[in-house]
Structure 1
């Protein structure tokens, strides 16, 4: 810091005020740099990150138009692709069904994963949406109308409070007119990095939720399993008719150690949390790449068996 201060020229007595301002500015710059370095150190704590852009590219995704972050929680090892885009926010689209599911359970709007939501008779794009849904089927089928009914019934104030308490992205649910679209078109937005932060709170059970909500939530969010592993995840597709479509895939993978088995239904090996987003200029071709790219990366790092 002394060397930095020495770059300022000597100023006479009449310029004492100017010199104080210069020193103050310099000190603030030094403090800001230190704070930024500390924040970066916390963010990247663990082994040096490994670039996995080649895996993303091999799945037909341009790494410059996508962001992938995988964290092994045991040692904080990170695998990344996408550079600064990992910190860039986008509307979460249907990945927000993870926090929305937890909110529906905790508030009692959905008693459990089998709570039924009666179809209103309106024909929608996907045939599987055009029927009564449980919370579990609505999550698995990404039935937007069910979650729009949830946010409408709970109201803007309740939704804003919960999203803020979760620290979910920018936590902005907008105004009353945004109540059924804030996660689809904005203003709610979240980065890949912030998705992993939220998911780790869910895994660690440090969100302000009951054990009952955590237990039911895990069952609803669990999407796939195999020998020695379980996957908890959600896709998302932002399409607003103006900007390039954005595809999401976020979640976590729990793997079991063969010698320890399971404990109360939870895997006891490594846990990998991940978040992926990508531009989808050609949705018909790009939509399947969301899951495919993440699974390829998890396989490459040894977290999932080879396809």
Structure 2
């Protein structure tokens, strides 16, 4: 009988608030570009953070069987490429900018990964504060988009009551399978999807609006057991994109009619939000009448 795969334990501040940015091109630097950063890379980074809970010094010894069990990556060249993207990607959190990893080498089937002391400190602080979330690896494999993986991480933080900033309109249902409605202004989208450089409106529509055939969110998160719908908010006058409405709910439950019930709750949040929007517009109209 196969042994169960160990969960990945990740600091809540990183799940809830971290952003990822490709490192700048600096003359004379041997650091690679983190462009092409993926959701699979984030999963490997979370696996590294899990291992850093018991690190001695700043070098993590990570066995390939653990990497394979957590990420599903079996071929060493793919792991090497992912580590290079992590080496070329900055983690941004609480005004700190630090490399996801400083460097790596491999000895046989063992990875030796050098981690910035500030990243280790984040893990230590989360451990001391008991601010860690347990992620089931099988639930997040297949979230190849960095935006899907970041949104999943936000969900895990929200379940632990680590919510977005006050200027993001946030509401949730209670119960065993909570659902969320988040109305995010354009300039705060990076807070929810974990990126740094601002996306153009066409990129937002292509990557983050589920009505677009090229948007990965709905397709990938469904496999992870979530229903997600996102809608562009546009200015009524010139139709410029001014934000995104996100509805997110869990759609799986062991046995019974859990998926149907959760989907109904998800759709209920959407209809309630639409009704509230209409009510707000009516109130605004009444106040504007002379």
Q: Tell me the TM-score normalized by structure 1.
A: 0.31
Larger Rg: 1 or 2?
1
